[in-house]
Amino acid sequence: MTSTIDEGRTTADGTADGNGVPRSQAFFQQAQERTAHNYHPLPVVVSHAEGAWMTDVDGTRFLDMLAGYSALNFGHGHPELLATAHAQLDQLTLTSRAFVHDRFGEFCAALGDLCGKELVLPMNTGAEAVETAIKVSRKWGYDVKGVEVDRAEIIVATGNFHGRTTTVVGFSDDPDARDGFGPFSPGFTSVPYGDAAALEAAITPNTVAVLIEPIQGEGGVVIPPAGYLREVREITTRHNVLFAADEIQAGLGRTGRTFACDHEDVVPDLYVLGKALGGGIVPVSAVVADRSVLGVLHPGQHGSTFGGNALACAVGTKVVEMLASGEPQERSQRLGLVLRDRLESLVGRGVLAVRVRGLWAGVDIDPTVGTGRAVCEALLARGVLAKDTHGSTIRLAPPLVVSEEDLHWGLDQLEAVVTGG
């Protein structure tokens, strides 16, 4: 696909219906009228996508710089993933876990091997995987560590994002995520993210796990101080506490390594995975750990109707196969250097600070330029789709398949917007 702005803005039908109104307006309006307003989408209505490019109902093309919050690490419509999904649709889609299907074992084996762990528990969404990690950690606390019944504590970090279930938002410190949804589950202690000493000080005999994101994506691509993950590993080991790494957004190639924990050669006790695991096709999530941890679950104690379904396993196995080649990670690392260079050149020119790891960046916009939302709207007008977080930060996470040329083009648009060029 081409990347020039002229082609990117060319429309298939002249952008308009007979009245000169873009078709997207009607779709957008219907969506707004008939859904709960739990999102504030940019005014674009997409109907087709390929690789790193999305096309709206008026035929206008946009470079995707969000990649479904990293669910689309392998791009839209990746040929191998699509072929796998199409073939599986004709074979078998769902049995429930009441029966075993022929794609289940191979998925668990492949993902377990990728993580260097013995067992895999597949779920669907990220939030379900986090809930699973919480339940498994508590059960491990009672069955293995010997914590008194119903006294288990889990340590989390400020600025966290682990999903939207009532338990999970209960330990968020984002008022939007939390306010109005209580009462919340007890048993969580929050400590400042990046502060290993505070984390160690919060450990009690009832602490069963530390649950953190190795990089906080929703928080604005917040990278902890160097050595933090290693310290968390050492502290949790020393105190007989599980280390659960929520790699749902940071993992699976996004940062230039398979897992964000790999940057410090750290292996957590539980990997919590999601997003890109489904190849942008189906929701697939999982908790991956050794038998000493996941072995605490027995029949009837946890489950999911759709978790580990045949379509999910087929797609997930292909995703793991692609990651096992190391190619997406290598691309992310290489293009990440381009992203870093370009973004660092903007600091002091409409940008206050940038944080980059692999093909993933948090860009803090100078408030004199405008809000993050205003910058995203200006990017939209230039054919780039990106999303703000927490007011003034823009998260950039293009699909890892983006071409270097297209990446440069997207960053040209950002540069023009923030420098007023």
Ligand X SMILES: *Cc1c(COP(=O)(O)O)cnc(C)c1O
Distance CA 361, CA 220 (A): 8
Task: State which H helix or E strand residue 109 sits in.
Answer: helix 104-115
For ligand X, the closer CB: 77 or 283: 283
Tokens of 69: 């919050």
Q: Does 246 sit near ligand X (CB under 6 A)? A: yes
Q: What's the one-letter identity of residue 36?
A: A
Distance CA 359, CA 253 (A): 9
Q: Does 249 sit near ligand X (CB under 6 A)? A: yes
Q: Which residues between 306 and 365 bind ligand X (CB under 6 A)?
A: none
Q: Does 279 sit near ligand X (CB under 6 A)? A: no
Q: Does 130 sit near ligand X (CB under 6 A)? A: yes
Q: How far is the CB of 409 from ligand X (least distance, A)?
A: 27
Residues in contact with ligand X, shown as a per-residue x/- string from 156 to 195 under the rule CB under 6 A: -----xxx--------------------------------
Residues in contact with ligand X, shown as a per-residue x/- string from 93 to 122 under the rule CB under 6 A: ------------------------------
The three state secondary structure string of 303-331 is CCCCCCCHHHHHHHHHHHHHHHCCHHHHH
Of positions 3, 55, 84, 125, contacts ligand X by CB under 6 A? 125
Chain-centre distance for alpha carbon 267: 19
Q: Does 218 sit near ligand X (CB under 6 A)? A: yes
Q: How far is the CB of 249 from ligand X (least distance, A)?
A: 3
Q: Does 268 sit near ligand X (CB under 6 A)? A: no
Tokens of 356: 């980059």
Q: How far is the CB of 162 from ligand X (least distance, A)?
A: 5
Residue 183: cis peptide before it, omega within 30 degrees of 0: yes
Contact call for residues 127 and 165 (beta carbons, < 8 A) = yes
Q: Put the strands of the sheet holding 207-212 in their side by side order.
A: 119-123, 285-289, 270-273, 242-246, 207-212, 153-157, 188-191
Map tokens 């789709």 to a residue.
385
Expressed in percent and rounded to 5, the helix, strand and coil fractions of the chain are 40, 15, 45
Q: How far is the CB of 217 from ligand X (least distance, A)?
A: 5
For ligand X, the closer CB: 249 or 333: 249
Contact call for residues 115 and 266 (beta carbons, < 8 A) = no
Give the active site residue among 62, 104, 107, 161. 161
Q: How far is the CB of 70 from ligand X (least distance, A)?
A: 7
For ligand X, the closer CB: 217 or 350: 217
Distance CA 108, CA 91 (A): 19
For ligand X, the closer CB: 75 or 274: 274
Give the pairing type, strands 361-365 and 384-385.
Answer: unpaired
Give the active site residue among 139, 275, 318, 387. 275
Q: Does 73 sit near ligand X (CB under 6 A)? A: no
> What residues contact 30, with CB distance under 8 A and at least 6 apart?
none
Q: Which residues between 15 and 44 bind ligand X (CB under 6 A)?
A: none
Binding part of the chain for ligand X, among 5-13, 175-183, 242-250, 411-419 by CB under 6 A, reads 242-250
C-alpha distances (whole Å) from 362 to each of 65, 170, 257 are: 12, 25, 18
- 318 included as an active-site residue: no
Q: Does 243 sit near ligand X (CB under 6 A)? A: no
For ligand X, the closer CB: 123 or 297: 123
- 246 included as an active-site residue: yes
* Three-state SS at 140: helix
Burial class (CB in 10 A: 0-12, 13-18, 19+), 44: middle
Q: How far is the CB of 128 from ligand X (least distance, A)?
A: 7
Contact call for residues 23 and 43 (beta carbons, < 8 A) = no
For ligand X, the closer CB: 126 or 399: 126
Q: How far is the CB of 308 from ligand X (least distance, A)?
A: 16
For ligand X, the closer CB: 57 or 134: 134
Residue with nearest beta carbon to ligand X: 126
Q: Which residues are catalytic?
A: 161, 246, 275
Q: Which residues bind ligand X (CB under 6 A)?
A: 69, 125-127, 130, 161-163, 213, 217-218, 246, 248-249, 274-275
